Amino acid sequence: MNTKIILIYISTFVLGNVYCASDLTEEEIGHVIEGRVFPPEDPNNSNWQLDTRVHVNGGEYIGFVREDGTFVVHNLPSGSYVVEIVHPDYMYEPVRVEINSKGKYRARKVNYVQTSQVIQVPYPLRMKPVTKFRYFQVREQWRLTDFLFNPMVVMMVLPLFLIMILPKMMNDPETKEDLKQISNLAKISDVPEMSEMFTKIFNRGSVPKPTSSKAKQIKKRQ
């Protein structure tokens, strides 16, 4: 019994191969895919029919859009086809059209991942633009809000807020003492004199750095 099934299985396979190898008969060829493309809603897109191309299976068969948006792709043998509407600026969703050997049509959404999933769409096809392609980055413009919410700026402003405003809000004497220390620590030394800077550069290391030693002392005390 089992061998029989296998035999039948093999024979159907062989038949299938022969069928595929034989020339397509007259009835096989000459199916058409019909549909209509809806123009993008763009007032200065007058000759959209010229830019719009109908590709079946990635350009294996090509259809052209008429003035009213209808299109026909001719001379297709029965099979499964992906119909794409190609427009440089607008995206259209592709549709899979299946034509069986009896000439029955079925149109469904293209799903490359779950190929067996069927979500039917009406046939003849009605292709509507989904979105406009966004090819370009938008140039950044200088805005005050962008500047203020920049993380670097926030990082600078927040400690300032902590140092300047918090002590006034808190009247606890102990914390005041602490904050005094912090402000001592954060006390910005004088803006360097040009000549001083040069001397520092030229005899590096020989001049002791008073600020750093002070900071060390503070640390020790803590």
Partner 1 sequence: MGNLSINLKPNFMGLLKCLNSINWFIVFFSLINLSMCIYEDQIGKFDWRQSYVGRIKFAQFDTVSTARKIIVATEENVLAALNLKTGQVVWRHVFESTSSGNIQLLHLSDQIITVTGSNPYLVRGWDLSTGVLIWEWGLTLQKNEHTDFSEWWVQNGLLVHMVPKFGSHIEVSVYNVATGHNRGATSKLPAVWINEGCVLSPPYYTCISGSPGNQLLLSMDVTSDAVQIISKPLAEYTTARNANLNPFDTNTVIPGFLLNEKIILIRGNKFEAINIAVSEPSASVALVDSASGPLVLQTWNDEAKGFTLTAHNLVSGQRVNEIGWSDRSLSIPEPELSAVICTKTAREQHVCRILVTAADDASHLIQQEGRVLWTREEALANVVAVEFVDLPVSDLDAAIESEFDQKEAAKMHSSVLAAFTRRLQSQFQQLQGAVRTLLAGDAAAADEPPPLVRDYFNLHKIMVLLTDAGKIFGMDNLSGEILWKLYEPNLNTEAAVMFTRRSARHPPHDAYLTIVGKHEETGNGLIVSLNPIRGTPVGEQTLHLDVQILQCAVLYKADAQKLHALILLDKDENVQILPESSAPLVENMYMHVADRSSAVVRGYALRHDGERVSAKNIWSVDLSGGGSQRVVWSVSKPAAERIHSAGRVLPDRSVLYKHLNPNLVLLLTEGPDPVHKDVVVATCVDGVSGGVLSAHVHRRARRPALPLHSEHFLAYLYYNDKQRRHEIATLELYEGPERWVPAGAAFSSLRGARAPHVQRHAYIVPAAPAAAALSATERSLTDKHVLLALSTGAIVELPWALLEPRRALSPAGEAREEGLVPYAPELPLPAEAVVNYNATLLRLTRIHTAPSGLESTSLVLATGLDLFYTRIAPSKTFDLLKDDFDYYLISVVLAALVLATYSTKYFAARKMLKMAWK
d(CA 70, CA 42): 19
Cβ atoms within 10 Å, residue 84: 19
Element (H, E) at 130: strand 129-132
Element (H, E) at 85: strand 79-86
Among 12, 100, 175, 217, binds partner 1 (CB under 8 A): 175
Among 5, 113, 152, 201, binds partner 1 (CB under 8 A): 113
User: Residue 134 or residue 203: which is nearer to partner 1 going by CB?
Assistant: 134
* 219 burial type by CB count under 10 A (0-12 exposed, 13-18 middle, 19+ buried): exposed
Contact between 151 and partner 1 per CB under 8 A: no
Contact between 161 and partner 1 per CB under 8 A: no
User: Residue 30 or residue 159: which is nearer to partner 1 going by CB?
Assistant: 30
User: Residue 26 or residue 203: which is nearer to partner 1 going by CB?
Assistant: 26
Contact between 163 and partner 1 per CB under 8 A: no
Residue with tokens 């005899």: 203
Residues binding partner 1: what is the number (CB under 8 A)? 48
Contact between 62 and partner 1 per CB under 8 A: yes
User: Residue 26 or residue 41: which is nearer to partner 1 going by CB?
Assistant: 26
d(CA 61, CA 32): 11
Could you tell me which residues come within 8 angstroms of residue 194 by beta carbon, excluding any fewer than 6 positions away? none
Torsion sign over Cα 150, 154, 155, 157? positive
Provide the binding-site residues for partner 1, judged by CB under 8 A. 13, 17, 23, 26, 29-30, 32, 47, 49-51, 53, 55, 57-62, 64-67, 72, 74-75, 80, 82, 84, 86, 88-89, 91, 110, 112-113, 115, 133-139, 175, 178, 190-191
